[in-house]
Each structure stands twice: as structure tokens, then as C-alpha cells.
Structure 1
């Protein structure tokens, strides 16, 4: 995604994705954000959250459409986790950037067994 302009303010690529990644990871039951196997050592040593597995598009009405891939810990109800991720992302983007979120598609790529 190129620079995103909001009320005369330009956001660099990756800013929105970072906000989305942090919001999703804070949901109980989310093991990781991004494609399975991206975590590992890279996530341990990375200073910034991974934004892999997150896609953001802007429609003609300047609403964001988000697609995010997550892994969930075993034992959590998948539809509930997905719904909580949708809500967390919509709330975080709206409150921190002020851009309406048109949709959030959550793809559960895997289950992890140790929490």
C-alpha cells in the first residue's frame, strides 16, 4: 500500500499494518499474526511487530478493507476469536487513525498447542 492520506496527514506504508498487527495480537486466543511459520526466531528478535499476512485496501469512499491471517491457540472457540479480532482491529484503526473500516476478513491458518 502506498502512502495513505487522512485529513492532510500522510501515513507511511506499514503504519496501518503495524496498528492492525498489535490490535490482533492483543486478542485472547491469538497465537500469532501472519502466515504460519513466520513467527519463530524472527519474531523473538524483531523490534517491530510482523506485518506479514496483513493486507489493506482503500475503497472509493476512503474506507479500509483489511485481510489478516492468524494462528489461534488450541481450546479457543474460533468464531469468537475471529469476531474479537474484527472488533479489535476496527476499534484500533478508528481510534488511532480516524479512518472508517469497511470490513475485516480474518483467516485462521493454524492452531498452536502451547499457550
Structure 2
């Protein structure tokens, strides 16, 4: 994310929107992290000669018809139903953007990119 998002007469750095959304999503019960936070994969790629796959940004924002379209990538805890979790993530994203930025959200796509199992 590099260029600013222009909507409703204001320009906002995508990183600012990402921080707002990330902070809200991290509070959802069942979300382990925003984005993929795989320590083992990061270690292997640091000490390996082969290059790792490029990771996608945890939050992507585009403007469609004067509203924001968000894509949120999360790692979740095992045992939380994905559909309910995605609905909760969508809800907090819309509330956070509306409360902080004051613009509409056309859609929130939730991508569950990782799963954390409880230690036994």
C-alpha cells in the first residue's frame, strides 16, 4: 500500500486505514492475529536459500462507487465457527471505519489465512 485513498473529499494513507481496521479486528473473540503470523515459516525463510512466497498485506483497501471495499486477512483460533467469526469481523470493520473516518463501507471480504490449534 503506497498511494493515498481519496474519498469524500479527504485523502487517507492506506496505512492509517489498515491500523484502524487491524486494531478493531484484533478485539474480535477468536481472531489470533491480523494477517499471517507464522513464526516458523518466517524463521525458515530467513535461514533458507530459497525465497519464500510473497505474503499478501493483512488489510487491503480500495474505493468502489464512493465507498471503501476492505479485504481483511486473519489467523483464527480453532473451535470458532468461520461464518460467525467472519460476520463479527465485518461488523467491527464497518463500525471502526464509520466511527473514525465517517465514510461508508461497501464490502468487507474476510480471508482466513491461518488456523491456530490449542496446545494440549
TM-score of Structure 1 vs Structure 2, range by shorter chain: 0.7 to 0.9
Larger Rg: 2
Q: Normalising to structure 2: TM-score of the pair?
A: 0.75
Q: Normalising to structure 1: TM-score of the pair?
A: 0.78
TM-superposed deviation, 1:3: 1.8
What value does the CA root-mean-square deviation take over the aligned residues?
A: 2.4
Kept in 2, the 8 Å contact 1:36–1:109? The answer is no
Matched with 2:102 is 98
1:80-104 C-alpha deviation (Å, 9 max, x unpaired): 1110000000110011101100000
Question: Which of 60, 63, 66 lines up with 1:58 in the alignment?
Answer: 63
Query: Runs ≥4 in structure 1, deviation > 6 angstroms?
Result: none
Matched with 1:22 is 23
SS of 1:55's equivalent?
A: strand
Matched with 1:45 is none
Kept in 1, the 8 Å contact 2:31–2:76? The answer is yes
TM-superposed deviation, 1:12: 2.3
1:23-76 C-alpha deviation (Å, 9 max, x unpaired): 1111000001113427x99xxxxxxxxx932111001x2200011111111111
TM-superposed deviation, 1:8: 4.3
Unmatched 5+ stretches in structure 1? 42-50
Unmatched 5+ stretches in structure 2? 43-55
Instruction: Work out the CA distance in 2 between the residues paired with 1:13 and 1:103.
Output: 16
Kept in 2, the 8 Å contact 1:32–1:70? The answer is yes
| Count of residues paired in the alignment | 104
Matched with 2:49 is none
